[in-house]
């Protein structure tokens, strides 16, 4: 066990913020050696806002996910033979650098511009109204199961053009596939990740082939059309982009709504103020993103030797930027552990930074604003039913699996 930073520790995963504070003060650029069978893997850990921002916008750092850094999902099969997992995984723009990242991002960007997303507000408001009406019963509501989970998966699946009856299994597949991004999960969690990802890929492959025959007005058809028009887009990139949009398009939003509402329910004065002053909902969502980030860490690989904080980091050694820690850095955020709904200059890193800034940020913000705004307006007296609601396993993606409340 590492004395200063152990992301496998369940107590750390439950509340990483005291550890982050210690890292920022004692070892802001910290070398952590991870033990793998027959190998030691060095990883540099960055915890301060300025260092994280500098790395995320520095072209000397690559987002390309090296194959040997993937978690061991099937020890009996060499990673290079985990097809189509590896091919599709490496076709995801999240793990690509320019010019490939730029090319893929531009193909999808039109679906997520602020102007395009604003047109979705009536549909999102209608969905929230319907979900709250169906979920509320016997004076109670599960804010995760009844709202935070179904809302974003429905919205993103509709953008892709996937049928409503498939939403439950799309959510399950996507949750399991997301486990491949978290090297701190137990073997039993990863054991379900590979088959789920393969099932998701085959499902999406079928949807892509149907669009080749009968295009529709949806994002999958747009990708197929771009490919057939001569754009440099291979089959694995089409599938990888669909998988990324599906997963990233709802995971962050689900965790944002759940984490955000938990923070508000634990701070009755903040909840009451937001109910009285609904005009503060947009700034409150930014603060909730900062306060308990849905994504806690992202990694980069230096292409050359670099120096950070007086430490020499060799080329090719993974660097982890702790987004959740950067968001609590008192050098950048006054009173960082307080929930300040109208915080000024709230340049948090919850959607990343630089070229890989989250493409779906405008949609996540809108969904959270509509959902949280509706909850505090309709149920200002709601109360937590559990002091510590169950959380999802792992470290990279931070969220709750249940959040039951009494509506008052």
Residue-level pLDDT at 390:
96
Higher pLDDT, 72 or 253: 253
End-to-end, the C-alpha distance of the chain in Å comes to: 45
Q: Return the structure tokens found at 80.
A: 């290079």
* Total-model pTM: 0.92
User: Parallel, antiparallel, or unpaired for β 383-384 and 311-313?
Assistant: unpaired
Q: pLDDT-derived band of residue 244, with 50, 70 and 90 as boundaries?
A: confident
DSSP3 helix / strand / coil % (the chain, rounded to 5): 55, 10, 35
Residue-level pLDDT at 270:
95
Residues 6+ apart with CB under 8 A from 168: none
Q: How far is CA 321 from the centre of its chain?
A: 14
Q: Return the structure tokens found at 39.
A: 């190998």
Q: How far is CA 295 from the centre of its chain?
A: 5
Residue-level pLDDT at 75:
53
| Interatomic CA distance for residues 299 and 32, integer angstroms | 14
Please name the residue that has the structure tokens 């993974």: 318
Residue-level pLDDT at 231:
62
Please tell me the least confidently modeled range out of 3-7, 10-14, 141-145, 191-195.
Answer: 191-195
Model confidence at 69: pLDDT above 50: no
- Region of 352 (left: φ > 0; alpha: ψ -120 to 50; beta: rest) is left
Most confident of 60-64, 162-166, 172-176, 303-307: 303-307
Residue-level pLDDT at 93:
83
Mean pLDDT across 219-224: 88
Please tell me the least confidently modeled range out of 4-8, 256-260, 320-324.
Answer: 4-8
Model confidence at 74: pLDDT above 70: no
pLDDT, tens only, 122-150: 999 999 999 999 988 888 999 999 999 99
Mean pLDDT across 359-384: 95
* CA dihedral over 105, 358, 159, 171, signed as positive or negative: positive
Average pLDDT across the chain, whole number: 89
pLDDT, tens only, 180-207: 777 776 666 667 777 888 888 899 999 9
The C-alpha angle 298, 16, 187, rounded to 5 degrees, equals 70
Please tell me the least confidently modeled range out of 49-53, 103-107, 392-396.
Answer: 103-107
Residue-level pLDDT at 1:
47
Q: Return the structure tokens found at 238.
A: 């089409």
Walk me through the domains of the chain, giving residue ranges and CATH numbers.
10-406 (1.10.630.10)
Please tell me the least confidently modeled range out of 74-83, 139-148, 296-305, 378-387.
Answer: 74-83
Residues 6+ apart with CB under 8 A from 3: none
Model confidence at 34: pLDDT above 70: yes
């Amino acid at each position: 066990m590492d004395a200063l930073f152990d992301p496998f520790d369940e107590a750390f995963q439950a509340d990483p913020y005291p550890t982050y504070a210690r890292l920022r003060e004692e070892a802001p650029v910290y070398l952590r050696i991870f033990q793998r069978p027959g190998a030691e893997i060095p990883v540099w850990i960055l915890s301060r806002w300025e260092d994280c921002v500098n790395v995320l916008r520095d072209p000397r750092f690559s987002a390309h996910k090296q194959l040997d850094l993937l978690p061991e999902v099937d020890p009996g099969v060499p990673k290079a033979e985990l097809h189509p997992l590896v091919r599709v995984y490496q076709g995801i723009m999240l793990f690509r650098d320019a010019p490939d990242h730029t090319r893929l991002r531009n193909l999808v960007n039109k679906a997520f511009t602020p102007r395009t997303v604003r047109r979705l507000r009536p549909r999102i408001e209608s969905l929230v109204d319907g979900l709250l009406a169906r979920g509320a019963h016997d004076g109670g509501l599960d804010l995760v199961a009844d709202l935070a989970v179904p809302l974003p998966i429905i919205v993103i699946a509709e953008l892709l053009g996937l049928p409503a009856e498939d939403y439950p299994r799309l959510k399950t597949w996507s949750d399991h596939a997301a486990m491949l991004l978290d090297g701190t999960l137990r073997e039993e969690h990863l054991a379900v990740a590979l088959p789920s990802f393969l099932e998701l890929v085959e499902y999406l492959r079928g949807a892509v082939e149907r669009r080749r025959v009968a295009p529709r007005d949806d994002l999958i058809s747009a990708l197929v059309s771009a490919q057939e028009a001569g754009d440099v887009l291979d089959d694995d990139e089409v599938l990888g982009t669909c998988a990324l949009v599906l997963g990233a398009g709802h995971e962050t939003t689900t965790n944002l709504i759940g984490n955000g509402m938990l923070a508000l329910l634990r701070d009755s004065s903040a909840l009451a103020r937001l109910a009285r002053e609904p005009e503060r909902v947009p700034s409150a969502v930014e603060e909730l993103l900062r306060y308990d980030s849905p994504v806690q860490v992202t990694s980069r690989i230096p292409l050359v030797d670099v120096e950070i904080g007086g430490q020499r980091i060799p080329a090719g050694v993974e660097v982890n930027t702790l987004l959740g820690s950067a968001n609590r850095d008192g050098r950048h955020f006054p009173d960082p552990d307080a929930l300040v709904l109208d915080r000024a200059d709230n340049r948090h890193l919850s959607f990343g930074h630089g070229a890989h800034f989250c493409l779906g940020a405008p949609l996540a913000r809108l969904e959270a604003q509509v959902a949280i705004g509706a909850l505090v307006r309709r149920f200002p007296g709601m109360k937590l039913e559990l002091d510590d609601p169950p959380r999802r396993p792992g470290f990279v993606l931070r969220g709750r699996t249940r959040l039951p409340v009494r509506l008052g």
